[in-house]
């Protein structure tokens, strides 16, 4: 048809001519979302997550968000979509499956190798999903004139409660979203729109009496079902936490150097999970179970090169090596002590302190005391000096 964009199908044209046909618009929206690579879609409305909003406020008041101050900033913008954008009438929730192709917990038994969370073994999902959200939002505005905003885990949006009220899944006892079709492995994105669209039924809780996700947690980060203390969570400790990892959690971290998949992988609903179909989100071979010794040798340039397009890059080389050294200390392999010893001279106190702890776990007390004596006159950072004196 002359003057029509070649990207628009006959269904698109019909909807564009009759934007008041919300049923037809919804059917076309679903079709377009799947064509763009989304695996599921659901629609909800503002005012549907009041109980989740109250739970969030209690979470903040208890201090369980730790140092994630951005969560506590203007909480009213999170507890109701209208707090972020007063004109929103419908919330379109979308999911992309990133199901792994192997058991994500198998690497935990390989003590000299690093465990990186499944979501961070491929390209950064933020970039991929945001492009798809923008493409779908442009299509929607062309089909039915409206205002839209898109979000993917970077704004004051409570994606998981909204996804539950949109029917994509439910928040399990580990507080993460669980899908009957995709198990634990969904990336979420949201489109806020001024359109009034048909709403989907909310998903109900299917956890029953199961406690698998709670019982597997290495650091007991769940005070009760459906409650998380982020300050005890390995994902928080290895990613969000900027300082030294508290001593009480170091042994439990094992060889997890970026995030933790234990509670996700333990969910029985994963028996229905499917391997993700997006190649850019699939695990890179070099990040499946990298060698701890090789990771310990990364300088800043090599770190940035290895983790190009990866979410791991955002924590920076110093925090990353802190995590690697904790894993080295937990490896039980005395051969890795040389890597830790070399990093005693690193420019970063965060790295030096973690190296001290690793050596305290791998070498004899006599050898450790000799290194301590040599370091005493050269080390001027109080946090590193405290690490030397904490080993006995």
Q: Examine the residue annotation and report whether 346 is marked as an active-site residue of this protein.
A: no
Residue 40 marked as a ligand binder: no
210 is an annotated ligand-binding site residue: yes
DSSP code of residue 144:
S
How far is 239 from 261, CA to CA, in rounded Å? 13
Q: 200 and 233 in contact (C-beta within 8 Å)?
A: no
CA 252 to chain centre: 20
The DSSP bridge pattern shows strands 90-97 and 40-44 to be antiparallel
**Of 291, 16, 331, 330, which is closest to residue 144 (Cα–Cα)?**
16
* 8 Å CB contact between 122 and 280: yes
- Which H or E element spans position 162? helix 159-165
CA dist 150 and 182 (Å) reads 23
Angle at 187 between CA 123 and CA 68, to 5 degrees: 90
Q: Is 260 annotated as a binding residue?
A: yes
Token pair, residue 188, equals: 């979420």
- Please state, in angstroms and rounded to a whole number, the distance separating the CA atoms of residues 4 and 326: 59
87 Cβ neighbours under 8 A, 6+ residues apart: 147, 194
Rounded to whole angstroms, the Cα distance separating 164 from 377 reads: 58
Burial class of residue 83 (count of CB atoms within 10 Å of its CB; 0-12, 13-18, 19+): middle
DSSP code for 200: P
Q: Is 342 helix (H, G, I), strand (E, B) or coil?
A: helix
**What is the Cα–Cα distance from 184 to 270, expressed in whole angstroms?**
6
- 283 with 100: CB under 8 angstroms? yes
Selecting among 21, 30, 153, 200, the annotated active-site residue is: 153
Mode of pairing for the β-strands spanning 256-258 and 115-116: parallel
Q: Residues at the annotated binding site?
A: 78, 153, 177, 188, 207, 210, 213, 217, 233, 235, 242, 260-261, 263, 267
Question: What is the set of active-site residues?
Answer: 153
Q: Residues at the annotated binding site for tRNA?
A: 242
Q: Residues at the annotated binding site for cob(II)alamin?
A: 78, 153, 177, 188, 235, 260-261
Q: Residues at the annotated binding site for [4Fe-4S] cluster?
A: 207, 210, 213, 217, 233, 260, 263, 267
């Amino acid at each position: 048809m002359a003057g029509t964009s070649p990207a628009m199908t006959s269904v698109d044209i019909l909807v564009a001519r009759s934007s008041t046909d919300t049923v037809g618009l919804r059917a076309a929206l679903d079709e377009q979302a799947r064509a763009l690579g989304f695996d599921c879609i659901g629609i909800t409305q503002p005012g549907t997550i009041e109980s989740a909003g109250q739970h969030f406020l209690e979470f903040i008041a208890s201090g369980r968000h730790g140092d994630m101050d951005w969560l506590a900033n203007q909480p009213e913008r999170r507890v109701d979509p209208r707090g972020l954008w007063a004109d929103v009438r419908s919330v379109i929730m979308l999911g992309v499956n990133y199901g792994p192709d192997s058991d994500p917990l198998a690497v935990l038994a390989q003590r000299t190798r690093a465990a990186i969370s499944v979501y961070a073994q491929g390209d950064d999902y933020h970039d991929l999903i945001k492009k798809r959200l923008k493409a779908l939002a442009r299509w929607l505005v062309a089909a039915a004139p409206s205002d839209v905003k898109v979000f993917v885990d970077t704004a004051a949006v409570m994606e998981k409660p909204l996804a539950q009220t949109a029917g994509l899944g439910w928040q399990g006892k580990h507080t993460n979203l669980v899908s009957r079709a995709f198990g634990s492995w969904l990336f979420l994105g949201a489109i806020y729109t001024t359109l009034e669209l048909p709403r989907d039924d909310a998903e109900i809780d299917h956890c029953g009496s199961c406690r698998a996700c709670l019982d597997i947690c290495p650091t007991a980060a769940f005070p009760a079902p459906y409650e998380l203390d982020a300050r005890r969570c390995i994902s928080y400790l290895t990613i969000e936490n900027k300082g030294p990892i508290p001593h009480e959690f170091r042994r439990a971290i094992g060889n997890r150097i970026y995030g933790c998949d234990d509670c996700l992988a333990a969910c029985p609903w994963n028996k229905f999970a499917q391997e993700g179909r997006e190649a850019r989100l699939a695990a890179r071979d070099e990040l499946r179970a990298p060698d701890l010794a090789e990771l310990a040798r990364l300088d800043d340039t090599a770190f940035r090169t290895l983790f190009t397009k990866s979410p791991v890059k955002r924590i920076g080389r110093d925090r990353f090596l802190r995590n690697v050294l904790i894993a080295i200390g937990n490896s039980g392999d005395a051969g890795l002590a040389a890597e830790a010893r070399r990093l005693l001279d690193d420019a970063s106190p965060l790295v030096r302190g973690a190296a001290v702890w690793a050596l305290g776990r791998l070498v004899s007390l006599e050898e450790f005391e000799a290194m301590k004596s040599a370091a005493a006159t050269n080390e001027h950072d109080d946090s590193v000096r405290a690490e030397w004196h904490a080993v006995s």
